[in-house]
Amino acid sequence: MPSTHLSLHYHLVFSTKNRLPMIVNEWRTNLHAYMGGVVRGIKAHPLAIGGVADHAHLLIGLKATHRLDYVLRDIKAESSGWVHKDVGQRKFEWQPGYLGVTVSPSQIERVRRYILDQEKHHGRQTFQEEYLELLKLSGIDYEPQFLW
């Protein structure tokens, strides 16, 4: 076969440092748009970006040459730099860790809707409850004492 064909889609979740509610409504949409620009800048494909005051969700398509840890490093560093510079919130930080799970092509639209409906979703469930549910649904083992 003369060419390569891949479907590498990831649902990424990460929180603000100590899960503090630092992402305010006035600039949240701009932050998500900026993150989409960072994703495009590394030649990846942002399919959905959402979140609430204390965390972000991204659904992105990557190439085989992308390293997931570098992708997250770039998104977090550049977006926190944007918050510092353009919003003026100097104490803004992202938590060091993240959740990254692959998404089957048949589930992309479902995950996209889930990410874009975060405000409604978090009227019913906290970030901690959501995160534990995502870990469980993904079959990821974890040590509770190292989660928060």
Confidence of residue 28 (pLDDT cuts 50, 70, 90): very high
Note down the domain range covering 73: 9-146
User: What does the pLDDT look like over 124-140, one tens digit per residue?
Assistant: 999 999 999 999 999 99
Token pair listed for 124: 């019913």
Among candidate residues 40, 58, 39, 60, the one with its CA nearest the CA of residue 49: 58
**What mean pLDDT is predicted for residues 33-53?**
98
Confidence of residue 1 (pLDDT cuts 50, 70, 90): low
Token pair listed for 18: 């100590």
Count of domains for the chain: 1
Q: How far apart are CA 129 and CA 125, in angstroms?
A: 6
User: What does the pLDDT look like over 73-118, one tens digit per residue?
Assistant: 999 999 999 999 999 999 999 999 999 999 999 999 999 999 999 9
Confidence of residue 19 (pLDDT cuts 50, 70, 90): very high
Tell me the three state secondary structure of residue 9.
Answer: strand
Q: Is residue 27 part of a domain?
A: yes
Output the average pLDDT for the chain: 95
Q: How far apart are CA 28 and CA 48, in angstroms?
A: 14
CATH of the domain at 48: 3.30.70.1290
Q: Do the beta carbons of residue 14 and residue 56 sit within 8 Å?
A: yes
Q: Is residue 104 part of a domain?
A: yes
Residue 70 contacts by C-beta under 8 Å, 6 or more apart in sequence?
Answer: none
Q: How far apart are CA 52 and CA 22, in angstroms?
A: 9
**What mean pLDDT is predicted for residues 65-79?**
98
Q: The pTM is what?
A: 0.93
Q: Is residue 132 part of a domain?
A: yes
Confidence of residue 47 (pLDDT cuts 50, 70, 90): very high
Q: Is residue 2 part of a domain?
A: no
